[in-house]
Amino acid sequence: MTFQSPTPLPVRGTPEQVAFHRTELSVILSLYGRMVAAGEWRDYGISCLRDVAVFSVFRRTAEHPLYRIEKRPRLRNKQGQYAVIGLDGQVLKRGHDLKTVLRVLERKLIRAVD
């Protein structure tokens, strides 16, 4: 008689959820803090799913997100695991380095001074 587990054990190396690492969140929250101070952003949400982790940025709480910062580890060896996606679903920037990808949003902070 053999014993079989009722639920399959997770395979080592394949996470059940994708999440942002502490260093990644530090970079994202640093930008978020500057944008809040500038009055551009007011709220955020984090979703950790099986294939993707999403940091959503809102102007107001009850709206659709202005931007989504996504981490998709499956694309690590292809076009890059990080992406910034706009309100309309268009990919604004994709790459392997999170700081480089977030530069597309930092340009919003640069304004002409009269």
Mean pLDDT of the chain: 81
Q: How many CB atoms lie within 10 A of CB 88?
A: 6
Kind plus residue range of the DSSP H or E element containing 25? helix 22-37
In this structure, are residues 70 and 60 in contact, taking their beta carbons and an 8 Å threshold? no
Task: Kindly state whether residue 4 falls inside one of the protein's structural domains.
Answer: no
Q: Is 7 helix (H, G, I), strand (E, B) or coil?
A: coil
**For a pLDDT cut of 70, what percent of the chain falls above it?**
79
17 found inside a domain: no
The total of other beta-carbon atoms located within 10 Å of residue 57's CB is 22
pLDDT tens-digit series, residues 43-92? 899 989 899 999 999 987 667 888 999 998 888 888 888 999 988 889 99
User: Per-residue pLDDT averaged across 15-23, rounded?
Assistant: 83
For the chain, how many structural domains are there in total? 1
pLDDT at res. 112: 41
CA 17 – CA 63 distance, rounded (Å): 26
The residue range of the domain holding 67 is 22-107
